[in-house]
Structure 1
C-alpha cells in the first residue's frame, strides 16, 4: 500500500512537472512569435528605407546628369561666344577714325 501511495505521488509530481514544462514552452513559443513579428516589421521598414535611399540616389544621379549636360552646353556656348567676339574684334578693327 505504501509503495502504491509513493508511486501515486511520483506520478502526480511527474504530471505537475510536465504541465509546468509545457507552460514554460508555451510562453517561450509566444515570445519567439513576438520576436518573429518584430523582425518581420523591422525587415519591412529596412526594405522601405532601402527603396527610399535608392530613389534618392537615382534622383541625385539624374540631377548630376542634367548638370553635366548643362555644363557641356555652357562650354559650347562659351566657345561660340569667344569665336563671335573674335569676329567682332576683326570687324571693328576695320573701322578707322
Structure 2
C-alpha cells in the first residue's frame, strides 16, 4: 500500500512540475515574441520601407527569421501584431 501511495505522489508531483515548466516556457516565449515584434517594427521604421504591403512582408520575413510563424487568420487580415506570431516549437498550432 505504501508503495502505491509513494508512486502516486511521485507521479502527481512530476505532472505538476511538467505543467509548471510548460507554463514558464510559454510565458517566456510570449514575452520574447513581443520583444522580437518590436525589433522588427523598428527595423521597418528605420529602413523607411514603403508601401505598407512591402513593409508588412518585410515584417513577416523578419519575424520568420527569428523563429516565429504567423497565424493564418492574421495573415489573411494582414495583421502584424505580436499576438499573431507563434514560436515554431509550438508545432501543434497551425501557422503560415
**Normalised TM-score (structure 1):** 0.48
Larger Rg: 1
> By percentage of residues, which structure has more helix?
1
> By percentage of residues, which structure has more strand?
2
Higher relative contact order (CA 8 A, sep 6+): 2
**Normalised TM-score (structure 2):** 0.48
